[in-house]
Structure 1
């Protein structure tokens, strides 16, 4: 058998692994006596034992071997830990290499530092049990499984010298998001991207049952990954000495193949998709832990998944087993009298930024370069008067994004992501300067697709989100467009990224990264043809639950406001921006200067649509279709109830509705009262579910007079205007509500209401006869 490790190096690496395992167990159990210099007592143990041991020894085994190849090949490498609760292992290894103490000086390289390291783990005021934003070297939140491999590929795009080692847990491998992630190799271009080394870690079990891939035979498993397009190498067994040699030889082979793939592509150009190597590592769950506990198998069993010895207070024999387990790592050989790792083992770790915990790619804000942005005003729609010209907001925004792409092509600093909808969402101008990325087989009839394309399209919102997150977290910029109804697919991924940003803001050494910006189009009011399944504006509600210092929600009413908002979002840092804008031809309301001023304040009175003097009723709107219907309702009211005084307010920044002590974009109470009045009825036409507006404004003086029209979960395949009618955000319902709320109109309100009901009946008959909206609806323009 080939033995790439000398006996001396093998001895040292095995000792380093023992040290990582010792620190991992110590974090789960101990709060005192960290080096076991005295007999282990119950008072040395934490009262609540929380953490996960089962996957950790495998993660530690991989880490020490990656340290070796980083030094041997001078690799620029980061470590993505997919097994969610492998936190003790990654923390242990970053502590051993010295980076943890550099970021957290109180966790020093001595016995006192070890005590603090152990105590803080899964302890009030300490750190979580999983890899998180506080963990040096991490870009993958371990709280939820499934996203490690897509984050790894996102990090590798446009990072030609980076090698991302991604450990995929076999429990994690059962998630849909991870299963799809294997196809990311069809988008990696070795001529200009970095590389990902997937390491599938099979230890056999989830929390309480076997994992699927661990129960697949060798031939079937190999065929599966060859089918995915990889070249799998197997490292299997439970004897550490044998596995150290096998793992070392495999990594030498794998790194050589990756370098050969890249050098060929960079010398000769991309010719065909290579079979990238990957490793399948099969080791026992809870490796090196207790073989049995209470007569039941533990190592190699699901029983080692979390805390193998959990009843220390109730069963003294468990304390003895724990002490025997921890002393089996022989800590006296690993740490000197001060509690520091012995010199010969410290020398095994890479130096400086080559340490995986200190790699700047895992703290992407350190590498972030400003986007070059054109002046968004240069793309403006000419609006000589409100509501008289028609434009397509996302098509106009697409020309702006095209030139953002063009200006940043040389810097390989910007990509656009979306699930096969770039053309559908009217962002096709991008294809004037780049193609869709694809490293798979291309045929003659394929258009706008190439290995070096910078538009990332795949019919998986999970992959789009995960790639983008990995791209942003390693210091680049991106933009995500999607159909509004189906962005819900990544609800949970949004959650995790929002939590990461919230925590990272409090981590002093984490540098701000570019914001994650969604453009949600093909929205609820423009999905009349696709029907009920495509009609859902609820992502905004989901977003609004998150912390105010993280989220921003914009509802531009036309192309010029969309331009202003997009420019602002691309310049922002450490936010999640949600923009909802239509792609259909629509009336345009504001010239570019008015649009920029409006977006700067977030909400304003549109004086050109507002009556002189104190209003009888306020007509407010947020969203493109609600804005159109509100202004059409105002036009109706002026024709039929000319003495009714109306104020029109448009909201482009939804968070302006909140109080300033709830969101930094919130209007002051005085400004809000001045705008919405303190006692007049407010008829609010809103893009999404009405309850959100009530949530955002409930602390405001005039909240009891807010009457919100929005999506009421009424939808079908129908006409565009009928969608508004079904949900009562159309001009007729809005106008009727305004008249009903203006109490001084008396009998005039009843007469007007009958006229409106007649109009609605006319509408219902017309669309069922002609299959389209009435001409007066289709051709309406603002004339006041």
Structure 2
């Protein structure tokens, strides 16, 4: 969504209308006080790839016009075959929206404002052979024109109808290319393409002393409020599918408030609130992704954050393309927090127990998609601060919301984020690598149990697995942990390496392939798709990644009874 004083024209396809519905909420959230002029344009050609579109099957543009009116838009039908109609339509839509803004400011209108929405009616493949048929999607000619007379004739006849002399094209360009006079930037210079957003101030977090218990989500909530207050010039968008209070974001909600058209007395709601709430994960993440001129945060249940992947992945790819072209994105990085996660959601059965959000995003390029598993409150706020110090990245943060003791002090938490992993104590014959908060606690319990049996153990907290993968290109290589520190943390002469992870162990082993010592010297524990209405302890046991189960497997692997063996 553009900032005040900016303009945005967004072209949509009628095929995309069927799947990506986040924009349906725009009319409910648009406010002249913090939004610029926006004009959606639907190219209504009536077809998907291999059949007619739902809009056409439901009744065509007449049905779509009624649909838009019911959803708070003001439809404007134009001839999608006429370039001049697009120019007129854009000016008409912006003029209407500007007039509505002025009426609201004068007190003559109330929100919601009906957002103008252009419907450009046309046929797919207009003017060429096969127009309006499935063939128009790709290769409408029956054969290669070079070798087929019939195809060559169809091609030449179509080209003749579509041909415009070059002098006319230049003339039209000169008439329309009046950007300076119209105060309209060229597309390559549009503010959305040239964002350069930095925080004026990054407040020092409230670091908890080690062993003091607090919910990491409470710590994130406190720090986010401090960041918002320290940077008042930035437009804030807090994406919230549901249950922001349950997810411990109370201070943020009380400060920013749900954006709603009819605020309910006594609740944290406001006509101009910054919390974008809808039980539609794609819609709320899109509200954040569209706020590249401001500061954003998205909070979701881990299991349902998966619904955001499609929108996030498109943004990740585009940001990576910008980086590869030497024009890196300079909007503030966006943290997407997955909480109420797998190991905390026993009461809701397996529908709410899914670590795939982080697993999928670890498949993206790690220099742009940062996937982290902070184990305590201090590391969680250290991740949040570092995210907002960077630009053009997406941070997928899987964060527990239950009270947990602080494992790291402030200095160690910052080091953990900087390096991607940190060792707790000395190395041993058995190395335990923890990814996740509850997994770190399990590893500490395992280390203590093995020490009592005479086996020396070292524990490593692995925050960001993508820093220790085999890099797939030079940009990702530049994001990797330094080789000397990696070798120090993960020596190759370790006799047994044991991963205990938040996600499915196979996914982690694939990402951290360089750390895998082979089946004889590596074990991995994590989510095995077992669950149900169990508490955290029960879920760990059901997936055989509780401390007792892991100790037994290690003892069996080492051939040790644990009675008096100090080494393997």
Superposed pair shares fold, TM > 0.5? yes
Instruction: State how far apart, in whole Å, the 2-side matches of 1:333 and 1:554 are.
Output: 54
1:212 aligned to 54, 57, 60, which one?
54
Instruction: State how far apart, in whole Å, the 2-side matches of 1:345 and 1:680 are.
Output: 70
Aligned to 1:469: 289
Are residues 1:676 and 2:497 paired? no
2:6 aligned to 135, 149, 162, which one?
162
SS at match of 2:461: strand
Give the number of the structure whose alpha-carbon radius of gyration is greater: 1
Mark the CA change 1:423 to 1:660 in structure 2 (over 3 Å): closer, same or farther.
same
Instruction: State how far apart, in whole Å, the 1-side matches of 2:263 and 2:390 are.
Output: 37
Cα deviation 1:479-532 (Å, max 9, x = unaligned): 222111111112333332222122111224554333232211111110111111
Are residues 1:380 and 2:207 paired? yes
Q: Greater CA deviation, 206-215 or 580-589?
A: 206-215
Aligned to 2:240: 418
Aligned to 1:76: none
Gaps of 5+ in 1: 1-154, 291-297, 336-340, 750-784
Are residues 1:357 and 2:187 paired? yes
Are residues 1:618 and 2:431 paired? yes
1:118-157 correspondence to structure 2 within 5 Å: 155-156=1-2
Instruction: State how far apart, in whole Å, the 1-side matches of 2:76 and 2:479 are.
Output: 53
Cα drift, residue 183 of structure 1:
2.2
Instruction: State how far apart, in whole Å, the 1-side matches of 2:516 and 2:548 are.
Output: 28
SS at match of 2:348: coil
Instruction: State how far apart, in whole Å, the 1-side matches of 2:489 and 2:213 are.
Output: 28
Cα drift, residue 564 of structure 1:
0.9
Mark the CA change 1:665 to 1:327 in structure 2 (over 3 Å): closer, same or farther.
closer
1:345-744 correspondence to structure 2 within 5 Å: 345-352=173-180, 354-363=184-193, 366-377=194-205, 379-383=206-210, 388-409=211-232, 411-438=233-260, 440-444=261-265, 447-472=267-292, 475-509=293-327, 511-607=329-425, 610=426, 615-638=428-451, 640-641=452-453, 643-659=454-470, 663-668=477-482, 670-677=484-491, 678-700=493-515, 702-704=517-519, 705-743=521-559
Cα deviation 1:66-103 (Å, max 9, x = unaligned): xxxxxxxxxxxxxxxxxxxxxxxxxxxxxxxxxxxxxx
Cα drift, residue 538 of structure 1:
1.9
Cα deviation 1:596-622 (Å, max 9, x = unaligned): 223322222212xx5xxx623222211
SS at match of 2:449: helix
Cα deviation 1:326-384 (Å, max 9, x = unaligned): 3444543526xxxxx53564232123572442342231xx332212343333x21122x
Cα drift, residue 625 of structure 1:
0.5
Instruction: State how far apart, in whole Å, the 1-side matches of 2:179 and 2:116 are.
Output: 27
Gaps of 5+ in 2: none
CA contact (8 A) 2:372 2:465 kept: yes
Mark the CA change 1:664 to 1:458 in structure 2 (over 3 Å): closer, same or farther.
same
Aligned to 1:315: 148
Root mean square deviation, CA, Å? 2.8
Cα deviation 1:549-599 (Å, max 9, x = unaligned): 322221111000111111111111222222111001112212212222233
SS at match of 1:729: coil
1:199 aligned to 41, 50, 53, which one?
41
CA contact (8 A) 2:197 2:332 kept: no
Cα drift, residue 186 of structure 1:
0.6
The alignment's TM-score, normalised by the length of structure 1, stands at 0.66
Instruction: State how far apart, in whole Å, the 2-side matches of 1:707 and 1:343 are.
Output: 70
CA contact (8 A) 2:468 2:514 kept: no
Aligned to 1:258: 97
Aligned to 1:278: 117
How many residue pairs get aligned? The number is 556
Cα drift, residue 426 of structure 1:
1.1
Cα drift, residue 244 of structure 1:
5.2
Instruction: State how far apart, in whole Å, the 2-side matches of 1:572 and 1:419 are.
Output: 25
Instruction: State how far apart, in whole Å, the 1-side matches of 2:437 and 2:137 are.
Output: 51
Instruction: State how far apart, in whole Å, the 1-side matches of 2:165 and 2:470 are.
Output: 59
CA contact (8 A) 1:405 1:415 kept: no
Cα drift, residue 399 of structure 1:
0.5
Mark the CA change 1:512 to 1:502 in structure 2 (over 3 Å): closer, same or farther.
same
Cα drift, residue 461 of structure 1:
1.2
Mark the CA change 1:547 to 1:160 in structure 2 (over 3 Å): closer, same or farther.
same
Instruction: State how far apart, in whole Å, the 2-side matches of 1:655 and 1:546 are.
Output: 9
Cα drift, residue 717 of structure 1:
0.4
Cα drift, residue 170 of structure 1:
1.9
Mark the CA change 1:500 to 1:590 in structure 2 (over 3 Å): closer, same or farther.
same
Are residues 1:225 and 2:58 paired? no
Instruction: State how far apart, in whole Å, the 1-side matches of 2:15 and 2:270 are.
Output: 34
Aligned to 1:325: 158
CA contact (8 A) 1:684 1:707 kept: yes
Cα deviation 1:388-407 (Å, max 9, x = unaligned): 33111111110100111222
Cα drift, residue 274 of structure 1:
1.9
Mark the CA change 1:441 to 1:618 in structure 2 (over 3 Å): closer, same or farther.
same
Mark the CA change 1:458 to 1:736 in structure 2 (over 3 Å): closer, same or farther.
same
CA contact (8 A) 1:408 1:414 kept: no
CA contact (8 A) 2:195 2:329 kept: no
SS at match of 2:34: coil
Cα deviation 1:91-121 (Å, max 9, x = unaligned): xxxxxxxxxxxxxxxxxxxxxxxxxxxxxxx
Instruction: State how far apart, in whole Å, the 1-side matches of 2:324 and 2:135 are.
Output: 36
SS at match of 1:354: coil
Instruction: State how far apart, in whole Å, the 2-side matches of 1:697 and 1:248 are.
Output: 52
Instruction: State how far apart, in whole Å, the 2-side matches of 1:601 and 1:217 are.
Output: 56
Instruction: State how far apart, in whole Å, the 2-side matches of 1:428 and 1:527 are.
Output: 20
Mark the CA change 1:253 to 1:548 in structure 2 (over 3 Å): closer, same or farther.
closer
Mark the CA change 1:211 to 1:600 in structure 2 (over 3 Å): closer, same or farther.
closer
Instruction: State how far apart, in whole Å, the 2-side matches of 1:314 and 1:597 are.
Output: 66
CA contact (8 A) 2:468 2:481 kept: yes
SS at match of 1:467: helix
CA contact (8 A) 1:484 1:524 kept: yes
SS at match of 2:400: coil
Cα deviation 1:755-782 (Å, max 9, x = unaligned): xxxxxxxxxxxxxxxxxxxxxxxxxxxx
CA contact (8 A) 1:619 1:646 kept: yes
Aligned to 1:63: none
CA contact (8 A) 1:229 1:275 kept: yes
CA contact (8 A) 2:341 2:400 kept: yes
CA contact (8 A) 2:429 2:494 kept: no
Cα drift, residue 267 of structure 1:
4.3
